[in-house]
Structure 1
Amino acid sequence: MSSPRSIVLLFTTFPKTSETFLQRDVAALQAKGLNLKLYSLWGGGGEFRGLPVRSFNKWRLVPLFLFEIPWQCVRRPRLIRDLFEGVCTRAAPSFLNFWENMLGAGYAGCFYRELQRDPPALIHGAWAGAPATAGWVLWRMFGWKYSCGAHAYDIYEHGGDWWLLEKLRHARFIHASTETGRRELVDRGVPVDRIRVIRRGLAEFPAFKPLRPDRTPLRLVCVARLVAKKGLDHQLRIYAALQAAGFAFEARIIGDGPLEASLRELAAQLGLGDCVTFLGRLEQPRVWEQLAWADVLLHTGVVAPSGDRDGLPNVIPEAMSAGVLVVTSPVSATTEAVAQERTGLVADVDLPLAWQVALQRLATDDGLAERLRGAARRWVEENYNAHRNTDRLVECFQEAMTE
């Protein structure tokens, strides 16, 4: 018997340490017995769970421009005309997004002959940037079915991806991971019946730790990339306000990023050296160790100057599953998990006093803390089960392949 037709999975960079949720998706799809082919358009490559990850050698773009594009101008003039018209008549939202889309189109031009030898049943782009562009161009060339994800970065960064609507309107389905993202896509004109809200998930739920009876000093943790949308400058000022008020706490910030030097400098200026520690990027097992230590996870997400913002960061449901209390800002989809007074507490990053009040309550009110912790764990079990959610994603793939 011949092997089943493949599903081609396209990533920007795979595997990537900060995108463990994509690794979970691939592992779960592989466990379902699907015939997967993995391609990484920018970085990554190598092997993942025994599957080769094909990387894109950018030198292949040289013959693409010299020979392939002129040949396609003759063979597919309408496609080439549409691409050049789009490039020339509207500005890309950013230099980076321009090249992301060019990368996706370049992949399609360089790899289509290889894919023709064993045409895929479905092409799925993990993101609506370069991976979705590749799927869309291959659909234009051969009519191959494609689908894609559309998450916070794709939707919000500099107003959204350059060719977002063209790609999403023709996708067999669009994987959104939050209701907030779904509503935004619908408002922009994406057909509502194409969007599937399927959350990420935990393959295993950790042990639910007991509430620490004496939470003085209160143990605070933040797990985040050190980038603008995480609002860590606000978080440091919140810590400074807590310290000025005589509130006993110890805070640990886990993560690295381009703002690390400026944030360390700000912490020093605010006199936080004795109570705030930067731990840098940690592997996932060590992150779980820090969650086991912490009483409260803080998330101070904001809308970055570029428009980028979080969807629902995975660390929030992870903390909730382990029995760590959560205080978050009311930005984007975080409040889908952290509902005020039900599964956690919500406070505006510009109001340090509100954070002080929230943390004081969690430090001293055992009844409130236990009620929030229990409800948070139930929310995760109901909404963040990786096996159940991956089953839904598999169903989407199977429906898309058979339509």
Structure 2
Amino acid sequence: MMPRSIRAALATVAAATALASGTATLLAAPAWATVPSAVVAPRSAVAGGPADGLPAIIASAADAARDRVLRLAKSNLPAEIRTSAWNALRSTRGEAAIEEWLTPGGGYDAAKQRLRDARSRNRAYCEQVVRTHTVGFSPQVRAAAERALKGNDADRAAFVRTGYAEAQKRDRAAREADGRHRLEIAAKDREFVRAMAANDPGEHVRAAAGWAVRPGSTDEDVAEFFGYGWTSGAVLDLEAYRLRVADADVRRHHLLTRLIAQAAAAEQELETAADTARARAEAERSWRAVAEHAESARTAWLAEQSAARVQAESWRTVAQVSKESADTVWKDITAPAEARQGDWAAEQTEASEAAAFWKDMADRARESETRVKN
């Protein structure tokens, strides 16, 4: 469903076109009425005048906006964002709810603000620890995090404040006391971590690796990097990427709605303007702004696609190295490495699909600019 602001403009354009041509009869269902979500109407549907091209481009933008909200609702982003997105999608207010959710200061921003609440941060931290600390390497930390999640807000705050560090000390003491769990760190493993600190594509992984091989670090520091630090950094890198691209695309879709509304209004004025040349120039300028915005979005998504590809390839290499290594420290790396490879491959696919949408939107806007010239 299209946003309310541009639906009103479209209705006026259609009426003005019909009156101007002397054919103010009932209009057939527009081409966009049966276009499925996130699927762009065929080029033939936008080749005609305003009654053809404008409904199709508006519908494509509206479908893509709803699809973006749906993707966020189904994503692995924090629960505050996912729940808020589902509420917008299920609202009885329909398209108006989607439009307002994407608007700066609307539902998405409100959900982001809730992420800053201490209770939300504490829960997210406990959940991350459970995801990244295995029972085999960090049994005390894992158990303490799980207890905190099952407890109340005070339990989770206590875990973040002191519980994690205390459980970590108990795990270290147990590993040192049990020779079977004492890991020998080979020089080549330390060099591998040092190379990651300089070259890994993930900011948080680089930071975790750098801490493990900082001046004065011990074999236990490197072992902990392999045990949970690497995985923790990887999760943070993935979450940061997802939140960053979500932020950017929410803004892009909101601006696209505004720009198309302005272009629709400019076409409306063109139908009745006394100064046709001025009105036509304004309509051309408005559609050019849509095209430039869409092209900028496409360029940004191509960059995200490249970044995701680099990450996926990096994790594929890590998974292969871990399978081939006989060193004990690598034994728990294969599964999370393969999982991260899959995550980043999925992000690469989504970025490719988004870039394709924005390219098509830019093409449609340029066609609309050409259309209003004639």
Q: TM-score, normalised by structure 1?
A: 0.22
User: Relative to total residues, which structure has the larger helix share, 1 or 2?
Assistant: 2
Decide which structure has the larger Cα Rg and report it: 2
Q: TM-score, normalised by structure 2?
A: 0.23
User: Relative to total residues, which structure has the larger strand share, 1 or 2?
Assistant: 1
Q: Which one scores higher on RCO, CA 8 angstroms, separation ≥ 6?
A: 2
